[in-house]
Structure 1
Amino acid sequence: MENKIYAGERLRRLRMARGMTQARLAVMLRLSPSYLNQIERDQRPLPREVLNRLCALLDVAPDYFAESDELRRLGDLREALANPVPGAEPVELAEAHAALRAAPGVAARFLALHRAYRALEEEHRALRARLADDGPAGPASRLPYDEVQDWVQSCLNHFPALDEAAERLFESGGFSAQTLRTDLERHLQVRHGIAVAETLREGPDSGVLWRLDRAAGRLLLAEEVAPESRLFYMAHVVGLLEQEGAIDRMVAGAPLSGADARALARVGLANYYAGALMLPYRRFRAAARELRHDVERMQRRFGASFEQVCHRLSTLQRPGEEGVPFYFLKVDVAGNVSKRSSATRFHFALFGGACPLWNVHQAFAQPGRILVQLARTPDGSTYLCMARMVGGGGGYLSLPREGAVGLGCDIAHAGELVYATGLALDDRQAPVPIGPGCRACERADCRHRAMPPAGHRLDVGTAERGLLPYRIARPGSPGT
């Protein structure tokens, strides 16, 4: 049976963005205004034939109305609602889903408040620890960073204005992947009067990799910068100099609450432009198709790093020219997520570590090797997941910054990836059952849990004991 699509909020936002009234759109879709009103209020699903007419009329892909964004927000909402409150009853899945559909704006504000609460809770713990050590106090909130990550996710990690500007410069400037270093150096010198020099020798412990001295007309790069990072930093500076207005407009229109979040967003958008200039959209998408998304071969073709190629693959969401919809993330050895975005239904947990069965965590034990995994999430979706450790290098006495990147897509696209070679894609037993993290995972029978799932009562009966000191109580069981 085909899943019903409830996309009222997304339809309403798209209609308003195109400057259309509900009555006008109803006429164009050959619907009555009352019927369209019911669709926008999620009182009726979006019929397939109406979906097709809508996509053709407004020039969007059917995936725009997919439930991936709603499913992610549903997971976030259930996780937040499950935060321990004395005497509170667990919120059922159907109840949370109904609340999200009926009042998406209220749900978004609730999640923002909950993130603020968690940030203040972390800050309070950190402050108490510093006071106990008799050390200086200071802000410890990670809220601005979370705000920016959520905003990037809401845009599906795709910013058309920057993508198109970078591609225009690459093509009109006669750039090529083989001569990009010289192309960027020449462009900075001719267009902006900035010479690039490897004269920044403050030592690896300083943490400074580049510095733009506008008064002297110099871009200084640290001598230990890798070739692909050198390209990225130069492209980043081009973005800062030439896309300042576009970046400011995007940040001004983003739902960011403070100066710190807006500053982080500007850096993130300049980074996005740098990736788009190094790996121009149409050339990169064509190469991805030709090479079946073989990341190492794409590295060599474009002179980019493994992480740069993976991240760029996750941004190919230009309407009418979409690439494979990927999720992308980067984690450190402690499980901290520094980058995350998804153009799929894949759900990242808001708090706590990720699933230990996910291959991205195993990459640290096998540096240099690409790990491939079929994985199934609790909602029944199956993904082809690829992971590899990145980073390292530096001097003998340096502490290299190491991480692991994960890239994955729905199994429906597996045939387009070289990493599906030899896998039993039709074997229902092959996928590893993973989740978004123990607190948010609904699996009742997982023996790898670090903590119980949020929002469920526990059965800690003493008549027997399994690997875990509790069972997840089924509906109707007494629990404790």
Structure 2
Amino acid sequence: MSRKLFIGARLRRLREQGGQSQAALAGRLGISLSYVCQLENNQRPVSAPLLLKLVQVFQCDIAEFSEEQDKRLLHELQAVCLDRGVVGERIAPAQLARMVEHVPDIAAAFVSLAERHQRLREEYAQVIERFRGEPAGVSPTPLPHEEVRDFFNRRDNHIDTLDTQAEALAQALALRPGERAAALREVLRQRHGVDTLASDFDDFGVLRRFDARRRRLEIAAGLSDAQQAFQLATQLALLEQLERIDGEIAAAGLADAHSRGLARQGLAHYFAGALLLPYGEFLHAARAARYDIEALQRRFAVGFETVCHRLSTLQRSGARGVPFYLVRVDRAGNISKRQSATAFHFAHHGGACPLWHVHDAFAHPGQILVQTAEMPDGTRFFGIARSIGRGGGGWRTPRKSFAIGLGCELPHARELVYADGLDLAAPREVVPIGPGCRVCPRADCVQRAFPPAGKPLETSVDAEFLGAYRFGDEHGMHG
């Protein structure tokens, strides 16, 4: 039986943003005023036909009515409220849920303010630790990479304007896996007068360099056809799609030039990935292969991370794939990429949970590991993880390694080949994880690196436990 969808707060927000009364909206939808009131007060769920009417009336994506963004916001709000440096007294989970339901914009503003407060605390502590005098340049605004990451997450990591353009171009050029680079070089030459050449760059790590005055594009020598094509497609996006890219950036209201620059690069990369892996063709292949990543690698002649990243973007209205989260972690636990079309909650500060299988991937190079995990609110996820490497190619040439984690909420797991033969409901197979030690409410975790912020510690020396920390009787918040 399908879940009932209540859209009260989201419907009210869209209606008020459009300056419409409830009566006016009822007239446009062809329903009674009382029906609109019941919808906005979550007294009735929305039906599928009415949901489609709402999408037409508000000219929005159906994702505007998704519960996933509210669930993510609630998890973030709960994490913030665990920090006694931000909230003095415990707030009941039901109160937080009502806040997200009735005033989501205020809830999001509160989370943003708390995150800025935390960044200032961390920066101040670092300054004190280093004994370097007065704090300088401390800014309450988000760091550029955080702001851009949050922009993509708000869009469920799907940018439809660029995706559809890339798909149309891929079809027009009849791009074939393994033979893309030559076709894209010709497009750059014919359309833009740009000559492309392979180069052994003197500067370390350069992959692409464009000289606009000389109309010359240099691509690092030794790249595979797919890697060359990605760089060529990125440059093509910056030449042909810049107006659309800058339109997306302007609509996002990004704070400063650094954020806008990172977003411009990220959106150009998005177009390049969508050109190499056109939406409709890739979604059909992914479903047919039951999301077998290595099979998709062979089919489209691209790398493991490229396939995982593209799988996390398949959220086009009317043609959605499995909603995935994606994370990229280094050996020290630093998260360099995190995005989600699910309710999976990543900590905004600090490392990931050490019980998460993505860390185990480094001990099993090239192997795909699977895990069923449960977050503190009871939501369960099924995920895979595998290590990858980049660089190298010569003696003493620097090489970097990461682990990639890809996962979905448990109800979607059976759509993935990796869940075959597993008892997903077996309690012994479910690993209790959290968003990170600083905000995780689990009192019984023996792997905890440090206590959650603001929790009162038990410091009695009369007893000792396997876990490093014990804290008071107050339990964390559960949804």
TM-score of the pair, normalised by structure 1? 0.88
Answer yes or no: is 1:55 the counterpart of 2:51.
yes
Answer yes or no: is 1:427 the counterpart of 2:423.
no
Distance 1:442 1:63 in 2: 30
The aligned residue for residue 45 of structure 1 is 42
TM-superposition CA deviations, 1:283-302 (whole Å, max 9, x none): 10011011111111111111
User: In angstroms, what is the RMSD of aligned CA positions?
Assistant: 3.0
The aligned residue for residue 25 of structure 1 is 25
The residue identity in structure 1 corresponding to 2:156 is: L
The aligned residue for residue 290 of structure 1 is 288
Q: Which moved more, 1:290-299 or 1:15-24?
A: 15-24
Q: Given the superposition, is the C-alpha separation of residues 115 and 100 from structure 1 closer, same or farther in structure 2, using an over 3 Å criterion?
A: same
The residue identity in structure 2 corresponding to 1:347 is: H
Q: Given the superposition, is the C-alpha separation of residues 19 and 157 from structure 1 closer, same or farther in structure 2, using an over 3 Å criterion?
A: farther
The residue identity in structure 1 corresponding to 2:316 is: R
TM superposition shift of 1:168: 0.7
| C-alpha contact 1:316 1:325 (8 A) present in aligned 2 | yes
Q: Give SS of 1:384's match.
A: strand
TM superposition shift of 1:317: 0.5
The residue identity in structure 2 corresponding to 1:181 is: A
Distance 2:86 2:113 in 1: 19
Q: Give SS of 1:350's match.
A: coil
Correspondence list, 1:301-320, <5 A: 301-320=299-318
Distance 1:87 1:428 in 2: 34
Answer yes or no: is 1:198 the counterpart of 2:198.
yes
Q: Given the superposition, is the C-alpha separation of residues 122 and 169 from structure 1 closer, same or farther in structure 2, using an over 3 Å criterion?
A: same
| C-alpha contact 1:328 1:406 (8 A) present in aligned 2 | yes
Answer yes or no: is 1:8 the counterpart of 2:8.
yes
Q: Given the superposition, is the C-alpha separation of residues 301 and 19 from structure 1 closer, same or farther in structure 2, using an over 3 Å criterion?
A: farther
The aligned residue for residue 119 of structure 2 is 119
The aligned residue for residue 442 of structure 1 is 441
Correspondence list, 1:385-464, <5 A: 385-394=383-392, 395-454=394-453, 456-464=455-463
TM superposition shift of 1:367: 1.4
Q: Give SS of 2:320's match.
A: coil
TM superposition shift of 1:130: 6.3
TM superposition shift of 1:200: 3.8
Distance 2:474 2:129 in 1: 40
The aligned residue for residue 357 of structure 1 is 355
TM superposition shift of 1:279: 0.4
Q: Which moved more, 1:341-350 or 1:75-84?
A: 75-84
The residue identity in structure 1 corresponding to 2:440 is: C
Q: Given the superposition, is the C-alpha separation of residues 410 and 63 from structure 1 closer, same or farther in structure 2, using an over 3 Å criterion?
A: farther
TM superposition shift of 1:318: 0.6
The residue identity in structure 1 corresponding to 2:253 is: P
Distance 2:337 2:87 in 1: 36
TM-superposition CA deviations, 1:226-279 (whole Å, max 9, x none): 443222111111111111000111100103222221221111111111110010
Q: Which moved more, 1:105-114 or 1:235-244?
A: 105-114
TM-superposition CA deviations, 1:323-362 (whole Å, max 9, x none): 1111111111111111111111211112221111111111
| C-alpha contact 1:52 1:62 (8 A) present in aligned 2 | no
Q: Give SS of 2:272's match.
A: helix
TM superposition shift of 1:21: 5.4
The aligned residue for residue 250 of structure 2 is 252
Correspondence list, 1:86-165, <5 A: 88-127=88-127, 132=132, 143-165=143-165
The aligned residue for residue 264 of structure 2 is 266
Q: Which moved more, 1:455-464 or 1:371-380?
A: 455-464
| C-alpha contact 1:352 1:437 (8 A) present in aligned 2 | yes
The aligned residue for residue 76 of structure 2 is 76
Distance 1:270 1:15 in 2: 33
TM superposition shift of 1:149: 0.9
| C-alpha contact 2:209 2:219 (8 A) present in aligned 1 | yes
Q: Which moved more, 1:241-250 or 1:214-223?
A: 214-223
TM superposition shift of 1:463: 4.0
Distance 1:87 1:463 in 2: 31
TM-score of the pair, normalised by structure 2? 0.88
The aligned residue for residue 219 of structure 2 is 221
Aligned partner (choices 217, 239, 260) of residue 237 of structure 2: 239
TM superposition shift of 1:23: 2.7
Runs of 4+ in structure 1 displaced over 6 angstroms? Answer: 1-4, 16-20, 60-63, 136-142
Q: Give SS of 1:466's match.
A: coil
TM-superposition CA deviations, 1:448-474 (whole Å, max 9, x none): 212223464444444422112443433
Distance 1:212 1:71 in 2: 42
TM-superposition CA deviations, 1:373-427 (whole Å, max 9, x none): 1222222222221111112332322332221111011222222211112211242
Distance 2:275 2:36 in 1: 41
Mark the runs of 5 or more structure 2 residues left unpaired by the alignment.
none
The aligned residue for residue 280 of structure 1 is 278
Q: Percent identity of the aligned residues?
A: 44
| C-alpha contact 1:116 1:143 (8 A) present in aligned 2 | no
Q: Given the superposition, is the C-alpha separation of residues 447 and 173 from structure 1 closer, same or farther in structure 2, using an over 3 Å criterion?
A: same
Q: Give SS of 1:391's match.
A: strand
Distance 2:302 2:17 in 1: 36
TM-superposition CA deviations, 1:58-97 (whole Å, max 9, x none): 4589775343212221222232233343992233323333
Mark the runs of 5 or more structure 1 residues left unpaired by the alignment.
none
Distance 2:217 2:160 in 1: 28
Distance 2:367 2:323 in 1: 23
| C-alpha contact 1:51 1:62 (8 A) present in aligned 2 | no
Q: Given the superposition, is the C-alpha separation of residues 363 and 96 from structure 1 closer, same or farther in structure 2, using an over 3 Å criterion?
A: same
| C-alpha contact 2:79 2:440 (8 A) present in aligned 1 | no
Aligned partner (choices 320, 323, 334) of residue 322 of structure 1: 320
